[in-house]
Amino acid sequence: MEVVQIQRRLVDFTKSLFMEVIPSKKNKTGTLRHTNLLTKISVLCLICLVLLLLVVVDREKGLLDSQFLQLQQLQDESNPDFVVEVVSLFFDDSEKLLNELTIALDQPNVDFKKVDGYVHQLKGSSSSIGAQRVKNACVDFRNFCEVQNIEGCRTCLQQVKQECYLVKNKLETLFRLEQQIVASGGSIPMIEMDF
């Protein structure tokens, strides 16, 4: 029962941070004082999760956008691993595409149409999982393809690789934290945000 209350307060806390209202410290510390070890661990995990999400899910410059939340909403008891599965598909797919792009841009005569095709695919899949910065980097990349600017393309490829690496790291950490919460008997709070 107590865990549920703590989870609810954390969700409210998360929301309030997006509304730029600073909650009173009293509530948080007061709650922590009267819990046992297990719930303390859950709470700490949840706080980490929330902080991670705050860094990760920012309206304009965040690593993720609302599409990621949409995916989380599609997950339920009958499909408990949906998000992990889709994201894993993205990791595999993006790795293949980035390899192809590296090869294609290394050619003496670069086939820009081919390159654009790969970037288009990557843009689509990153958009589908909510990997906002990857998608935006792909948009820039396509612009350079259109004008057949090889140096611009190569720079963009590095940028896209960087963004993929970044979002992969963050999401892997997120999933690990979720696993820890579930393993310690807690459940993942639904973070609802107003996009």
Partner 1 sequence: MGMAADSEFHVLAVDDSIIDRKVIERLLKTSSYQVTTVDSGSKALEFLGLREDDGINPNTPSVSPNNHREVEVNLVITDYCMPGMTDYGLLKKIKESSSLKNIPVVIMSSENVPSRISRCLEEGAEEFLLKPVKLSDLKKLRPHMLRTKIKSHNGKQEPEELGMPDEKIGFPSPKQEEQQQQQPQSKNNKRKAMEEDVSPERTRPRLNGITTMV
d(CA 106, CA 188): 44
Q: Which of 10, 18, 94 is nearest to 57 (CA)?
A: 18
Tell which one of 31, 72, 127, 149 touches partner 1 (CB under 8 A): 127
Angle between the 112-129 and 82-106 helix axes, to the nearest 10 degrees? 160
Q: Which of 73, 169 has the CB closer to partner 1?
A: 73
Which backbone phi and psi does 127 adopt, to 5 degrees? -65, -40
Q: Which of 43, 90, 171, 174 binds partner 1 (CB under 8 A)?
A: 90
Q: Are 130 and 73 in contact (CB under 8 A)?
A: no
99 lies in the binding site for partner 1 (CB under 8 A): no
Binding residue for partner 1, selected from 4, 55, 74, 150, defined by CB under 8 A:
74
Instruction: Return the residue of 72, 121, 143, 173 that touches partner 1, per CB under 8 A.
Output: 121
Residue 71 engages partner 1 in binding (rule: CB under 8 A):
yes
The answer to whether residues 153 and 110 touch, using CB atoms and an 8 Å cutoff, is yes
79 binds partner 1 (CB under 8 A): yes
Kindly report the number of other CB atoms within 10 A of residue 50's CB atom.
18
Cβ-based burial of 175 (10 A; exposed 0-12, middle 13-18, buried ≥19): middle
Q: Does 86 bind partner 1 (CB under 8 A)?
A: yes
The token duo for 159 is 């940028």
Cβ 99 to partner 1 shortest distance, Å: 17
Which of the stretches 5-13, 33-41, 117-125, 170-178 binds partner 1 when contact is defined by CB under 8 A?
Answer: 117-125
Asked if 57 is part of the footprint of partner 1 (rule: CB under 8 A), the reply reads no
Residues in touch with partner 1 (CB under 8 A):
67, 70-71, 73-74, 79, 82, 85-86, 89-90, 93, 120-121, 123-125, 127-130
